Amino acid sequence: MTAKRLGRELIEIEADLDKKFQTKELKSKTLQDVVGRSSQKYGELRFSHLVAHLETAAVLSEEQVKKYTQFRGYSSGDSCKNIPQEHSAKMWKKHHDCK
């Protein structure tokens, strides 16, 4: 399954959870089920994302891996100050433990 499809499914699960909260039709068991589905889907999405990086690195030369890492923003000096344009600054700082 593609990351895009998994992402859409995760968003749908979370939207359903929000709707259930808003309409006050949420019971403890339902909450447990929806949170379980959300967690499972997030795990699938995260796995898909990381597998793509592994598969990409497996077909690249050492020099290409260095460039790939650089393009992704992981080798540009202070990662808290050099946030790649295509990344959310908030999430980047969170994942890199920036203060």
Asked if 38 contacts 13 with a C-beta cutoff of 8 angstroms, the reply is yes
E strands present in the chain: none
- Cβ-proximal residues to 44 (8 Å cutoff; 6+ apart), any chain: 1, 6
Rounded CA gap, 89 and 24, in Å?
34
Model confidence pLDDT, tens digit, residues 13-65: 999 999 988 988 888 888 999 999 999 999 999 999 889 888 988 899 988 88
Asked if the model's pLDDT at residue 73 lies above 70, the reply is no
* Residue of higher predicted confidence among 41 and 84: 41
| Number of helices and strands in the chain (H, E) | 4, 0
Radius of gyration of the chain (CA): 18
- Cβ-proximal residues to 61 (8 Å cutoff; 6+ apart), any chain: none
pTM: 0.65
